[in-house]
Structures are given as structure tokens and as C-alpha cells.
A and B are shown apart, each in its own frame.
Chain A
Amino acid sequence: MSKIEAKAEVTGSVWKILAVVGSRLEAGDTIMILESMKMEIPVMAEDGGTLLALSVAEGEAVREGQVVAVLED
């Protein structure tokens, strides 16, 4: 099993966290939705895996490239 880091593609803030820590996600599932300049950008699980941890909370600012979640396949 390996750890996968999901990163923010934009600088903005965390609007909504959709996935629950500990749950099993399929490829393409949305972990959270970021918001920047009135645009919504989903952070998705590229491959399937278990959501190990979230490193951000709703409302928090994020920078492009920042790790926002860790999954384990």
C-alpha cells in the first residue's frame, strides 16, 4: 500500500469537504471543493483509495500545490 497526496490546483480557500476520513473512495470521487475567484475547483481522488487524512478544514485558505488530503491505495 502506498500513500498518495492530493494537492490544491489553485490558490483559494476550501469551500466544502465532501469525503469522510476513513472512507473508501473510487477513482474520480470528489474529496473536497475549493473556491477561488468565484470558480469552484473540485479536488478528486485520481485513483481509488482510503481517505487517510485531511490537512485542511472548510473555510481555510490554501495555496496552489499545497497537500490537502492523503489517501492510501
Chain B
Amino acid sequence: MAMFKKVVVANRGAVAARVLRSLRALGLPSVAVYSEADANAPYLALAQEALCIGPAPARESYLNADKLLEVVRRTGADGLHPGYGFLSENAVFAAQVEATGARFIGPSPHWIEAMGHKTRARELAARHGMPVGLGSSVLAGDADAMLRTAQAIGYPVLVKPASGGGGIGMLPARSPQELLGAIERAASMAQRGFANAEVYLERLVDRPRHVEFQILGDRHGGLVHLHERDCSVQRRHQKLIEESPAPGLDRKVVGALADRIAGTLRSMGYDNIGTVEMLMGPDGEFSFLEMNTRLQVEHGVTEEVSGVDLVAAQVRSAAGERLADFLPASIPIRGHAIQARVYAEDPKRFFPSPGRLDVFVPPCDPEVRVECGYAQGQEVTPHYDPLLAKVIVHAASRDEAIERLMKALRAFRIEGVKNNIPALLEILAAPEFRAGNVHTGLLADVMNHPVRA
């Protein structure tokens, strides 16, 4: 297949801007879409065409497959990039795009399907020799059966949606007394978030580190890894601060694991972008969590340390190019990169804060990379996730990267909408973060015991 003639970007905000930028760099005409709430969004100006796909609610716009397919047909596009979130991991949608004759820029639909169901993905990973933590398959049967399943794994457990992702809808249960209530609430969240109430259990690891591996494949059997990211700093199981490389780990061990994961996925024929997420326990043992078959929010830190434009690479791979033709033979890690997610939330309880961005002035340091979804004067509505911007820095060392990121966040002016920058600064200043002692409980530790640096 030849390079694309026109690509629809089926997303909004910061990721739409990101993808449109790479399409422009590749010289590819692009089509942006927008809901009525995004009619004045800055990302629209980056595309050659922009089409309105419906009213503000996501279900009627960015999640509306029929509308998006209509855009493909009307514009004569031969490619569609789904961004992240929304329909990016919807195998049915990917297949529908392919059925129009256009190419879905991502892995083949069967990969999205295989990795989208979390227990089947765990089983697949285990069959191919990846370490997998203690867990169950989809919970079924009566309360007694579920209690027995939890008992076999051992408390504390984590109840998770089987069709889930993005850290949404996970609930801990530390004892049999807590289990059934947690399962009921998790199932209801799963139904709402993912239209599927199936849940499963995993052993809850104490203070784990979230370490994930960036994968890139092509349609000719080529596949490489682009090292790892540490995304341990989270609130409500959603990432807040991400970095590459992971601090304080034995590079030989991490490198060997990355090679092993890449080798496994290469032999399985994985054919586009993906991330393998692992948990590292206090004993240093890694276990497979899930695989995301899409571009990730934190992909920028990998781009900074590797020098590779992941979106462009994805597009080339989907167009049928071989990785060996456009990637260098060896891609070492250069320096250290950190990303902070600026959310429209109050910095104490992290509750959403919609409103009008009366002032929205990102830091203008040319060394700082800011991916923005909004411009000053825009409304931040309750209809979408709370991400306002991503601030990414790259420096020769981790300490320098932290300093540069803090300086950039302090310079970011936002008024009219509450934001989490004060919380981000607290974490970045915390001795535990500085020392690289990151884990998923770090935010709670820092917020409960703030240390004035």
C-alpha cells in the first residue's frame, strides 16, 4: 500500500493536535472532527478540513462510529487515526473503518480485540511466557464462588473491569466482608464505563511501580521496543507524572525484559503501536498488567529520549512501510524526560472543575514541550476527560528534568478553572520523588504528609 492520501483524525483536544502535527510533518492532508463544544478549539486550525460530528456529549460525537465513518466516506479519506480514548481500542470500529476501504492507523482489529478483554489478554500473555500476577478469569457464579476465588488469590484483591482500561473502575477489597460490595460497585462502573459488567480479580500488590514498555511493529514482521516508561505517580489509578527511563532500575534487567517482550510480540505478529504495562512489586518482580493497543497519553516522554516521532512511525507502519526503512538500527535512551498532566481539577480532592479558561497561558520556554487541548477563552465542559495540557521536559539528567518541569509548571498561568498544578509541584518537590522511590501510593503519601522542600 502507498502512503496515505488523506487521514481523518477521529479525536479532539491535545491528541488531535498532536496527530495533526505529525501528519503535517509527513506532508499528508488531514481532516479534523469536532463536537459543538469544540467548534472554536485550536486543533481545528491544524487540519485542511474540519467537520462537525454532533452535539457535545461524547456518545453523540466522538463515540459516534456512524458519524465518523460518514466523515471518512464524505471526505474520501483513506486513513483514520483514532488518537487515544474514545474509539481507539474499539475493535468493531477499527473493522468498520477497514470495511470502508480506508485503513485504521493502529494494530489490526484482532489485536485490539485480543488485548481489549483483560482476562483473555492475561491468559494470552501467560501462554507466551510473560510473567503474570495472581488473578482470576471473569467472575461468574454466586457469592460463594466469588468468595472462594478471592480466597484462592489471597487478600487484599483488586476488582477490575474485564473490558476496562485507563485505570477506570477498579476497587480494592481487603477482606471477605468488603468483597461482594466492591464487586457490585465495580460491575456497575464497568457497565457504565465500558458497556460490559464483567469483572475479575487480581492480587493487590503493595506499593507497586507501574513500568510500561513501548512497542512498535510493522506489517512485515518487524517489531522493536522503544524502552520503558515509569508511570507510578497516579491519582484514582490514573497517571499524573510519567518519565523515561524508569528511575533507579538495573538497566540490564529492564533491557532484558524489554527485549523479551519485544521478541514475544514479534513472534506473535503484532503489527503497529502498543504498550505493554507491567507492575513491579517491592521484591523487584515484574508481572503483566495489560497491553494497550494504541498511542498512549504519555508517549511524548519516549519520543524525547529516543528521538522517534511515534505518531509518524505509526502512520508509516500502517501505510505498509518497514520499520527498518525509517527507524535507526539502534535507538539508545538519551537523557531523561518527564511529563506532567495538567488537569482541570481542584488540587486537594481532585474533583473536576469545568468552567471558562479566562486565563490560559502555557510556559513559553522553547525547551519545554506543551501539548494543549485548549486555548484561552474556551469553555472546559463536563463532557470530556479533565486533561487541559501535558507539559513535557527533556534534560541530560533526571534532577535537571525535575527542575525544568517545576519551573515550567510555575510559569503556567490558568484562571477560571481549578487545576492540579499545586499538587504536581508538591510531588515533584517531595524527597521520595527526588530519590526515585516512586510507587502508585506516592501521591497519597505526599498529600498526607507534605514536606516543605
Contacts and interface: CB of A to CB of B under 8 A. Distances in A.
A37 B384 contact: yes
Nearest to B236: A39
Interface string A38-62: 1111000000000000000000010
A38 B168 contact: yes
A63 B386 CA distance: 16
Interface string B381-400: 01111100000000000000
A30 B324 CA distance: 57
Interface in B338-357: 344-345, 351-355
Interface in B111-160: none
B335 to A, nearest CB: 34
Contacts of A9: 351
A55 B164 CA distance: 33
A31 to B, nearest CB: 16
Given A11-B382, A12-B382, A13-B382, A36 B189 contact: no
Chain B interface residue bracket vs A: 10 to 19
A35 B386 CA distance: 12
A10 interface: yes
Contact of B354 (A15, A36, A41): A36
B187 to A, nearest CB: 14
A20 to B, nearest CB: 18
A10 B352 contact: yes
A39 B189 contact: no
A36 B385 CA distance: 8
B353 to A, nearest CB: 8
Interface string B188-205: 010011000000000000
Contacts of A37: 344-345, 352, 354, 382-386
Interface string A1-35: 00000000111110100000000000000000001
Contacts of A35: 382
A55 to B, nearest CB: 19
A15 B385 CA distance: 16
Interface string B66-92: 000000000000000000000000000
Nearest to A62: B382
A38 B385 contact: yes
Contacts of B168: 38
Interface of B: 168, 189, 192-193, 236, 344-345, 351-355, 382-386
Given A38-B386, A39-B386, A40-B192, 9 more contacts: A10-B351, A10-B353, A11-B353, A13-B382, A35-B382, A36-B352, A37-B344, A37-B352, A37-B383
9 contacts: A12-B354, A15-B192, A35-B382, A37-B344, A38-B168, A38-B384, A38-B385, A38-B386, A39-B352
